[in-house]
Structure 1
Amino acid sequence: MTSTETSSLVLHGKGRASARLRDGVVLLEADGVRRRIPVAAIERVDVHGARVRRLTVVLTGDEPVAYHLRCRSALAVHEFAQAVRRALPVRDADEPRPNGTELVTEKPLERAAPNRIRQLRWGLGGGYVLVLVLLLVTDAGVVPGVLWAVAPGPIAAGGLGVYGGWQLFREAWVLRTRGITVEGRLQRSHFYNGVEQYTYAYVDSHGVRRERTGSDGGAERVEITYDPADPETTKVGRRTAGQLVFGAVLILLAGAVLLAGVAFVVMGMAALVI
């Protein structure tokens, strides 16, 4: 078994569909069925469709069967297809192929537990509409009703901004305090949504070969800083001061917007109660 027969990539599609590559088997979950597709049963893997975001796994056999998975990220589809292609056995053109459908096993998926987050969203949405209606039909006034109506905007924008700023700040702080810098070599580049993406390969301190893909870079050799506790956290270069400042500023600005939205909610509730 080669190291390419297992990949850490997880491809997510619509309706909770997903695909993984483990121990030479493509695990495809879609339409309420979990399919185990050995790489020996796969003739080829195609990437096509609108914006090349559709993965097609074609089985071997005289009448090949194909399974499809559509993903939002074209880059994720491309990377997963490459991982599966590396795991496919090398065959001669005239080599007999097995009937791929006979090698595929299927098992119905267990019904998922109720989505608590979705139920919470519906509950909050219903409560929001109820309060808005009460503010409009009572003598609370126009201003509290308007403030309540616009409150979700700054709350959502501010919350996302705070979260994004915290992620930037935390990543920079982690890389600054415990990051390890190694040399990376350019492997390939491609365009995604009009932006050129660069993939660099590097070897970490444990001798494991890893890859890093992003829009920064371009040189044949660059320094890559990574977090040994979480190798997925990386950046080209080793300077983090700018990212720390930007993350902190984003947290402050987005936090002010978030607090304004919360104040609108408090004012609307106060007008309804008083």
Structure 2
Amino acid sequence: MSGSDGASEGAVLYEATASGVAILTFNRPDRLNAWGPDIAAAFYAGIDRAEKDPDIRVIVVTGRGKGFCAGAYLGAPSSAASYGKTMEKAGQTDLAELVGERPPHFVTALRKPVVAAINGACVGIGLTQALMCDVRFAAAGAKFAAVFARRGLIAEFGISWILPRLTTWGVALDLLLSGRTFLAEEAAELGLVKEVVDPEHLMTRALEYAEDIARNCSPASMAVIKQQVYGDATRDVADATARAEVLLHEAMPRPDVIEGITSFLEKRPPQFPSLTSTEA
């Protein structure tokens, strides 16, 4: 897949469907799409493009080849002998130079839903990136691992925040402390992915889901709901309820509410207006 600019060699491919879904595909299959500055920069550019485009209502992220994102790119095996000096230097380096200028949780602040179609290996920072997406589908047999402890590292880039919220404290500690590999089927049982799909049907199912949202859900509503869900994670229930009342009063005069109710009563698909750059 490639965007209209034909940049098939780009680190992340961009495609927009007629139904309002932007597809971002990590495009370094030779290294299982391991995260590096090239993928980071192209991913940010693609996300910004989709976020600003009023015709785009949902974003789908996937990988080309056998990996979704197999962790941070550590270089070729031949570089192992020099890694002591590399890591000593890295301890004094701005992490943005190593993994990009934005932390994975930045996608939670987007106005548009982000769906991950996990086609293969989803490891380390790749797992964190996937968990920060709003909804996840996975190919049967795809391998997952929070390998940080097995690399002498810590729970990086917000995974210690998101993982217990998607599963439980016990599951999060098991996965983080053991660094063990687990498959898509267990990931679904643990609540980390919505569905496990045959690999050849993964994108079809993910796009079916994304296109249903694009056709039938209000962009303004989805933007506010994302703010509520992620913002309320740090609030108590009383504060969350009080804020919801304020947001509801703000929502009532919007054309989305009128269209949502009218289309339901008239038994027709809704025609919600697109987001502008300043809404929500």
Measured against the shorter chain, the TM-score band is under 0.3
Larger Rg: 1
Normalising by the residue count of structure 1, what TM-score does the alignment of the two structures yield? Answer: 0.26
Between Structure 1 and Structure 2, the one with more helix by share is: 2
Normalising by the residue count of structure 2, what TM-score does the alignment of the two structures yield? Answer: 0.26
